[in-house]
Structure 1
Amino acid sequence: MTASSENCVVSKTSLAGLAPLQAVLFDIDGTLCDSDPLHYYAFREMLQEIGFNGGTPITEEFFIENFAGKHSNDAALAIFPGDMERGLKFLDDKEAMFCRLAAEQLRPLNGLDKVRKWIEDRGLKLAAVTNAPRPNAELMIKILGLSDFFDVVIIGGECEHAKPHPDPYLKALEALKASKDHTFVFEDSVSGIKAGVDAGMPVVGITTRNPEHLLMEAKPAFLIKDYDDPKLWVALEQLDKAGGRRS
């Protein structure tokens, strides 16, 4: 971790050092919405159909370790080692199944409307930063009613390196013309938290599905259950008091 990253996370439950706040960056899957159960279902059903793991359905633990938050290339090789083309074709079909499920079942994470209002009231810059394919990312944002919320959507696969590399978050800062010293990140996966921290920003980790002890290994500023978590609102109140509310 860089020295700037260490400075960001010294106060484990405070964001006050970011004042005046300029921007907030969000992951999508598991951060804006609890989409992992839909991804898990699609992976489990389709992998069983092709006889993966001897036809035994994958566990949720296997899904978290091999697929959650991972770039498509890594997921493809986890399914078909040495056959990237076949793996990516499988993932295209899986994403199509996910989109069908999302259209009917996707819901925002608890408290998202509340944090959205807090952000809009302060006129902050916004970016969604994800390893999801662009069509899926934009579909989820549309389903959640956030199409007009984000200034930019950054796709890991369109950067030189996807998460867990910091490139997508650095690209978001550049697109927003925002400073890492006045920006924080919401993330739910180990790879996403690592990407944000290595980009020099404090990351608020969300324990949507991933185990807390694994998330803490990536060094988030602190963890919350969802956007209704009192720890988040204490931190945002401190940020306001430190001058975070912009004119």
Structure 2
Amino acid sequence: MIDCCIFDLDGVIVDTAKYHFLAWKRLADQLDIVFTEENNELLKGVSRVESLNIILRLADKTLTEEERVSCLERKNTWYLEYIHRLDRSEILPGVEKLITEIRGRGIKIALGSASKNAVIILQQLKLMDMFDVIVDGTQVSQAKPDPEVFLNAAKDVDIDPQKCLVFEDAVAGVEAALNAGMYVIGIGSEETLHQANFVLQDLQNQTLDQLIERL
């Protein structure tokens, strides 16, 4: 019995990875670090601070704490510029239809994202009213694969974690959901997300009954 569905944001509801990449690439260029789209895959589901650490390790580069703070602020400023251009056309296929169906069934819907800009993104997409609870990077201290973000979402809607279904596109997110004792559907590559209960390429043409039956 599923009483709550928890959605990750980036890569599940909307593809903001391209905007993260543009912002990180801009920063890496300033730091004289080669940063490719392949390198960007290492940052999926990872916090902003750890993402900077990964980029610095690519060139074995170190920064002072003041320089690190400045880098993180610059990256976020650029990223915010990009996401303020978002509109409803960028909602990923099948997502809004599935969320609408879930709400119609009286099942709780939560957001569980590492993003600190989740509210801004949902506002741009005009999806804020679809969620009972939003738990994002401003409200948790532990990054995925720690289950904190998902456990907090379950707690906020007063639902047993074992009755929650998570939609995730990142390895760390799948692990976090499993660590929380929840069901998890991977969105993306079967090879990458094989730990999930099952994996879909996207949510297009998916119904809740179909998903629950496969669980």
Partner of 1:167: 148
Letter in 2 for 1:63: N
Query: How far, CA to CA, are the matches of 1:73 and 1:44 in structure 2?
Result: 15
TM-score with structure 2 setting the length: 0.87
Listed as ranges, the matches of 1:108-187 within 5 Å are 108-133=91-116, 136-156=117-137, 158-187=139-168
1:71 positional shift: 1.3
Query: How far, CA to CA, are the matches of 1:129 and 1:84 in structure 2?
Result: 29
SS at match of 1:185: strand
Structure 1 gap ranges (5+): 1-18, 243-247
The match for 1:72 among 31, 43, 48 is 48
Query: How far, CA to CA, are the matches of 2:132 and 2:82 in structure 1?
Result: 26
TM-score with structure 1 setting the length: 0.77
Partner of 2:85: 104
Query: How far, CA to CA, are the matches of 1:232 and 1:60 in structure 2?
Result: 33
The match for 1:60 among 23, 37, 56 is 37
Partner of 1:16: none
Partner of 1:212: 190
Retained in 2: the 8 A contact 1:163–1:191? yes
SS at match of 1:204: strand
SS at match of 1:63: helix
Structure 2 gap ranges (5+): 57-61
The verdict on how the C-alpha distance between 1:224 and 1:45 changes in structure 2, with shifts beyond 3 A counting, is same
Letter in 2 for 1:113: E
Higher relative contact order (CA 8 A, sep 6+): 1
Identity of aligned residues (%): 27
Residue-pair matches, total: 208
1:39 positional shift: 1.1
CA RMSD of aligned residues (A): 2.2
The verdict on how the C-alpha distance between 1:197 and 1:112 changes in structure 2, with shifts beyond 3 A counting, is same
Query: How far, CA to CA, are the matches of 1:85 and 1:119 in structure 2?
Result: 46
The verdict on how the C-alpha distance between 1:105 and 1:146 changes in structure 2, with shifts beyond 3 A counting, is closer
